[in-house]
Structure 1
């Protein structure tokens, strides 16, 4: 494989992208910093196919990234391969307003091949290539320049290793017929809605025990205000105000700005400064949350009852058995919330009742809930046995 090193000029990058645009797939990784900013600061982009690899410096003066971004988001003929690519995809979304497509995530693929639910990159490389990844540069400040040769080599190795692993994974998926299992997961990862930071929806990320519409209305207003402040200042949300402080303010709103100086978690200066004034304006403009927007009693669990909870436990046992039998990560087959919904009587909108998940697990899960399957012990091993034929 030809390693280009660090690309710092537009012409070289455009030529590389023109060649890669003719290939069936490219492997992509990024290095970024986000500890002190709201938006992740893109510091390096690594890209490879099976013949060449390079690192691209997005901080190089005057460099035009458009050919690269077009390759990632506009070229539907080239598959984009990531490992645990959520944050890499988020960065592309922030730059373009859309996501790489089509895409393939090797961490998700590993679930279909029985290699664990969240296998790390280092373990994946060791499993497929028998190579111990150099972890010495993991804590590099990638925003500093110049980058030395070891840092660049470390970064490029991420995509050169993955470019060898991906075809092997693809072959295993073809042999086992499990490639189709991943289509839905990859499309979900590519959905731009996953990466849109909508200030109107920011309240969902804050934990609060109250279910009073007026309290949740204030929380929504405060979360929106914080999101806009953080975006405008390019600071992490927590640098503006912590979640717990925001929840306290929603539950116990101050009567006037001067009272902010007494709030734990806020600087006394907020009693008279501009940001304190904007916080108070957000509170004063808050309206009670509408019935349509109010969260369910518990967003994660349907109303099960004692018997339903026992049925859900049996479904989880069935899931564990089936996942082991077919050598696939249990999480790819079904989520706990799906099992609890099935146990609670829900039959519509469950992924385990459609497609490959139904064939591999959902059919038996439904049969168990409806009394057509049971557990027996034979030879010291837990087995499923049919108690009656399906109607």
Structure 2
């Protein structure tokens, strides 16, 4: 485990002069009690040598991060989305030239969202230990078992990448994985503005306008406080409590008592602030400063059509040798039947493979 600056500088020199065109990457972080993931370790495999960098050792990692974000090598991850969220929260940047072996495996017929250990087992017959899955990576010193577990996470990634890459090329699916991996570089996946925080709560647009406006304001307030105090959103205000407040529309803290899932401490510390927020939102709505409307509840799609389109997805997936949900989910099918264009099955490579057929069948 690299925990000194000379060691890290040497690693960066190796990275700059490496002969291979791909780097296996992984991260370990903690987030159980925080809003942001707190990066603790970054693991790399460079020219078949595994290294772990202790990010809690007070090192200057600027050169390493620059190399990972802009270097010419392909950065190999497995199930990269959480790693990328951690990178983006800490550094405000994402690695370039990425390859996600979980995405690639799904396109080749492996179990959807297959875990790294399961994929290694299927490809190489190697059993990786899972005893450190829920370990606390923020505690120091790290144990030998933790270090071994962390390095194992990148020990086989280069081989997995090579095998899956060859299979994708043989199947004509290299562009498919490129597109799906590129979608992980959408920074909106990893940061949400307070004004958009209400989108995390399903059904908000279908609420009456007055309740909807208050729920949106409360969601934005919660997002700001969670970010400010670095605490999980649900610790600041649960979804149940948020909606209960939006419906109740209290004008004084005392009216918050008895609302579902709302603690006394929140009422005591934040009651006046919450009531003032609601009053300001109500005033904005009354003055016409908020342009909201209540969205209609979509009619349930015809069951026969859902069954028919789902059958098309299954038969196409069978022909391609992959799980149907890799092509289109039941939610995608329902969205197409409801006239929604913003479904994954209608974008990128999926549109030609399955999307157009579903649109034709739905018309």
- Using the size of structure 1 for normalisation, the TM-score is 0.83
CA distance in 1, matches of 2:295, 2:258: 33
2:308 to 314, 319, 333: 314
The residue that corresponds to 2:95 in the other structure is 100
CA distance in 1, matches of 2:265, 2:334: 48
1:65 to 57, 61, 66: 61
The residue that corresponds to 2:45 in the other structure is 48
Q: Contact between 1:49 and 1:163, CA under 8 Å: does it hold in 2?
A: no
Secondary structure of the 2:169 match is helix
Question: Are 1:217 and 2:213 matched, yes or no?
Answer: yes
CA distance in 2, matches of 1:293, 1:72: 43
Q: Contact between 2:35 and 2:232, CA under 8 Å: does it hold in 1?
A: yes
Question: Are 1:131 and 2:126 matched, yes or no?
Answer: yes
Question: Are 1:85 and 2:84 matched, yes or no?
Answer: no
The residue that corresponds to 2:353 in the other structure is 360
Deviations 1:234-275 (A, max 9, x none): 1111111211011000011212123334434333344443x3
- The verdict on how the C-alpha distance between 1:369 and 1:272 changes in structure 2, with shifts beyond 3 A counting, is closer
Deviations 1:265-305 (A, max 9, x none): 333344443x323222322222449886557435xxx6565
CA distance in 1, matches of 2:362, 2:306: 9
Question: Are 1:162 and 2:157 matched, yes or no?
Answer: yes
Secondary structure of the 1:226 match is helix
Alpha carbon RMSD of aligned pairs, Å?
Answer: 2.5
CA distance in 2, matches of 1:36, 1:351: 33
Question: Are 1:121 and 2:121 matched, yes or no?
Answer: no
Alignment of 1:130-279 (within 5 A): 130-207=125-202, 211-273=207-269, 275-279=270-274
CA distance in 2, matches of 1:158, 1:267: 41
Alignment of 1:288-299 (within 5 A): 288=285, 294=293, 296-297=295-296
Shift of 1:37: 1.1
Q: Contact between 2:240 and 2:260, CA under 8 Å: does it hold in 1?
A: no
CA distance in 2, matches of 1:366, 1:206: 29
Secondary structure of the 1:136 match is coil
1:336 to 327, 330, 335: 330
Secondary structure of the 1:196 match is coil
Deviations 1:65-113 (A, max 9, x none): 11221122222x1211111111100011012222112211111111110
- The verdict on how the C-alpha distance between 1:33 and 1:334 changes in structure 2, with shifts beyond 3 A counting, is same
Secondary structure of the 1:137 match is coil
Q: Contact between 1:259 and 1:271, CA under 8 Å: does it hold in 2?
A: no
Shift of 1:141: 1.3
Shift of 1:352: 4.4
In structure 2, stretches of 5+ residues that fail to align are none
CA distance in 1, matches of 2:343, 2:236: 39
Secondary structure of the 1:55 match is strand
How many residues of Structure 1 are paired with residues of Structure 2 in the alignment?
356
- Using the size of structure 2 for normalisation, the TM-score is 0.89
In structure 1, stretches of 5+ residues that fail to align are 1-5, 371-391
- The verdict on how the C-alpha distance between 1:368 and 1:291 changes in structure 2, with shifts beyond 3 A counting, is farther
